[in-house]
Structure 1
Amino acid sequence: MENSIELTSTQLSRLQRLAIAPSQLQFSTRIVLEREQQHYLSRVLRLNAGDRFISMDGQGHWWLAQLSASLDSATILQPIHVERELPIDVTLIVALPKTGFDDIVRQTTELGVATLMPTITERTLLKPSAQKLTRWRRIAKEAAEQSERLFVPTIVDPISFDKAVNETRQLWRRYICLARGEGTHLLDRLAEIPADTPNRATGTIAIAIGPEGGWTAREIDTAIAARFEPVSLGRRILRTLTAPMAALSVAAAAFERKIGN
């Protein structure tokens, strides 16, 4: 690698970004580009040999890279240290809507979700195919590039609500959002957490968002029995497409304010 290059935030914002798989990295000095990535960099972004861009592996690493003369690889010039993630990991358990889950994936990625659990509830009508899951993961990758995330969110295979509750039992804090202002507001619950507590080392919070038509009484009882705290997102009735963004925005504001961001 060459001598360290000082980049201002403005210079960083002007560089194009490309997400790569960790397997594309060779000896920590070179990135082997896939054919689709070569086309994207040279034909879509109009980069030429010697041009620089930011490469990210979706696992917390950024590098300043330089496109090779052959356009089939890039040289890593230096690592880039930035902080773009929420101070604590947020898992969203989201009941699958009939349509619009693409937008949920895209927008929650932009807002900082760590894990997205598409969930089949008693009132869920959509039964997604394997192709849908592949599409959602691609959307998450693209949204992570666009929003300058360090990590690409994990999108798990669609699971039942009971299984989602069971798999998140060990998480640090768990909340289930209820309609019509039932329960304490999520913001108030998060505000109760001491300012020196939230960080990714202490654990993850889970927030469950219900389906169109709301949770069944049995599902609410199941969540509460697993120590999910009932919370509200406000007095208005939010659509399944709106509620995940509202919940994540509340969490982001609460935790980033605690650490002064």
Structure 2
Amino acid sequence: MADLQRLAIASEQIDRQKVVLTIEQQHYLRRVLRLGVGERFIVMDGEGKWWLAKLTPDIFGKTELTAVLEQEILIQNELSIELTLISALPKGNNFDEVVRQSTELGVTHILPVISSRTLLKPSSQKLRRWEKIASEAAEQSERQVVPKIRETVEYSVALSLFENQNFSTNCHKYICVARNNYPLLLDNLLDNQKLESIIIATGPEGGWTNGEIEAAIASGFQAVSLGKRILRAVTAPLVALSLVAAVLERRKA
């Protein structure tokens, strides 16, 4: 089934064994993927389930096409823990790539934040765009879960959100800091054998301010380094998440 196309849908689109396709999804299947009636593809609900589906005409006439679920597909491509990225928004449209590549690497939650040095103030339409990018990236990377993207908040609000939640003792929170003598993130990950969830914060162009670093540490985050080189705001999340994914995949293997 590796050669079959994949389509991410909302779980509420499933009605018994039928998938109610949106106009946009019908166009995507017919015009972009070039699937014809009777052809099969994979449906994923973004919450962990996959099905083999067949494209069929809608006998009730509500839409042109629908899909029939033929069988559930058992697959496990997800990382073994929940992985949350707190990312200060980079300039321009660069956060699009952060969302896309973070999804490919296995992140489960993304929280964009506005820090002291953030230049971008996103519009409300940005969230819908990022959700669409995450959905497309989950399809492409054969994930079972589409990451949840939260509304953009101020940095201080983000810290309070995670400070007040009742995390287990095996939840590890890291803030990545450049130009420092903090321990390497990789070393810390390798030293922690029991990881149930991870939260990683990466900063904006110019990095976190000293006050932001101190506030994170006071909220239970551990300051870590990604290495001696200075990484761009769009590169740091990918490096951090790649390290986490590599460690978790190695343990799983």
TM-score range for the pair, normalised by the shorter chain length: over 0.9
Residue 50 of structure 1, CA deviation: 1.2
Q: Distance in 1 between matches of 2:183 and 2:232?
A: 19
Q: 2:66 aligns with which of 38, 62, 73?
A: 73
Q: 1:155 aligns with which of 145, 149, 154?
A: 149
- 8 Å Cα contact 1:178/1:232 also seen in 2: yes
Provide, for residues 178-232 of structure 1, a one-character-per-residue CA deviation record: whole Å limited to 9, x for no partner. Answer: 10253111011111112xx33xxx3x21111011111111111101111110100
Provide, for residues 128-166 of structure 1, a one-character-per-residue CA deviation record: whole Å limited to 9, x for no partner. Answer: 000111111111111111111111101100111111111
Q: TM-score, normalised to structure 1's length?
A: 0.90
**Residue 63 (structure 1) aligned with residue 45 (structure 2):** no
Alignment of 1:158-177 (within 5 A): 158-169=152-163, 170=165, 171=167, 172-177=171-176
Q: 2:126 aligns with which of 129, 132, 141?
A: 132
Is there any run of 5+ residues in structure 1 with no aligned partner, and where? 1-11
Q: Distance in 1 between matches of 2:181 and 2:42?
A: 45
Q: 1:226 aligns with which of 219, 241, 244?
A: 219
**Residue 104 (structure 1) aligned with residue 98 (structure 2):** yes
Partner of 1:210: 203
Letter matched to residue 129 of structure 1: S
Q: Distance in 2 between matches of 1:181 and 1:250?
A: 19
Q: Distance in 1 between matches of 2:47 and 2:31?
A: 27
Letter matched to residue 162 of structure 2: T
Letter matched to residue 48 of structure 1: G
Q: Distance in 1 between matches of 2:173 and 2:217?
A: 10
Partner of 1:84: 77
- Backbone CA RMSD of aligned residues: 1.2
Provide, for residues 82-105 of structure 1, a one-character-per-residue CA deviation record: whole Å limited to 9, x for no partner. Answer: 111111111111011112111111
Q: Distance in 2 between matches of 1:75 and 1:174?
A: 43
Partner of 1:253: 246
Q: For residue 13 of structure 1, give the secondary structure of its aligned residue in structure 2.
A: coil
Q: Distance in 1 between matches of 2:249 and 2:161?
A: 26
**Residue 244 (structure 1) aligned with residue 237 (structure 2):** yes
Letter matched to residue 105 of structure 1: V
**Residue 39 (structure 1) aligned with residue 27 (structure 2):** yes
Q: For residue 14 of structure 1, give the secondary structure of its aligned residue in structure 2.
A: coil
Partner of 1:3: none
Partner of 2:41: 53
Count of matched residue positions in the alignment of Structure 1 and Structure 2: 242
Q: For residue 68 of structure 1, give the secondary structure of its aligned residue in structure 2.
A: strand
**Residue 19 (structure 1) aligned with residue 8 (structure 2):** yes
Q: For residue 118 of structure 2, give the secondary structure of its aligned residue in structure 1.
A: coil
Partner of 1:6: none
Provide, for residues 31-69 of structure 1, a one-character-per-residue CA deviation record: whole Å limited to 9, x for no partner. Answer: 111111111112221111111100001111100001114
Q: Distance in 1 between matches of 2:88 and 2:181?
A: 19
Q: Distance in 2 between matches of 1:124 and 1:69?
A: 49
Partner of 2:177: 178
Q: Distance in 2 between matches of 1:235 and 1:57?
A: 41
Partner of 1:121: 115
- 8 Å Cα contact 1:91/1:115 also seen in 2: yes
Q: For residue 127 of structure 2, give the secondary structure of its aligned residue in structure 1.
A: helix
Q: TM-score, normalised to structure 2's length?
A: 0.92
